[in-house]
Amino acid sequence: MAQEAAAQTLKIGELARRTGKTNRTLHFYEELGLLVPTKRTKGGFRLYSEQAVLRIKWIERLQELGFSLQEISGFLGDLKSEDTGPASMDRLREFYAAKVYETRAAMKRLAALEHDLQQSLMYLDGCRSCDPITHRSVCGDCNEAQHVGVAVPEMVAAVHDLN
Q: How many CA atoms lie within 13 A of 57 on its CB side?
A: 7
- Rg (Cα) of the chain, in Å, rounded? 27
- 3-class SS at 11? strand
Scanning the chain, the segments in alpha helix (DSSP H) are 2-7, 12-19, 23-31, 51-64, 69-81, 85-125, 154-157
- Residue 162's pLDDT is 60
Is 135 a residue whose pLDDT tops 80? no
- Residue 4's pLDDT is 47
Are 26 and 15 a contacting pair, CB within 8 Å?
yes
Distance CA 26, CA 64 (A): 18
Residue 129 DSSP label: G
* CA of residue 1 relative to chain centroid, distance: 41
Q: Where are the domains of the chain?
A: 2-81, 85-163
**Rounded mean pLDDT of 74-95?**
90
User: Mean pLDDT over all residues of the chain?
Assistant: 87
Sheet bearing 39-40, strands edge to edge: 9-11, 46-49, 39-40
Nearest to 48 by CA among 92, 10, 14: 10
Distance CA 3, CA 7 (A): 6
CATH, domain 2-81, list 1.10.1380.10, 1.10.1660.10, 1.20.58.100, 1.10.238.10: 1.10.1660.10
| Out of 71-80, 126-135, 137-146, least confident range | 137-146
Output the CA–CA distances (angstroms, integers) from residue 78 to 69, 84, 92, 95, 126, in the order listed: 14, 12, 10, 11, 56
Output the CA–CA distances (angstroms, integers) from residue 97 to 53, 56, 78, 112, 138, in the order listed: 24, 21, 17, 23, 50
At residue 158 the predicted structure's pLDDT band, cuts being 50, 70 and 90, is confident
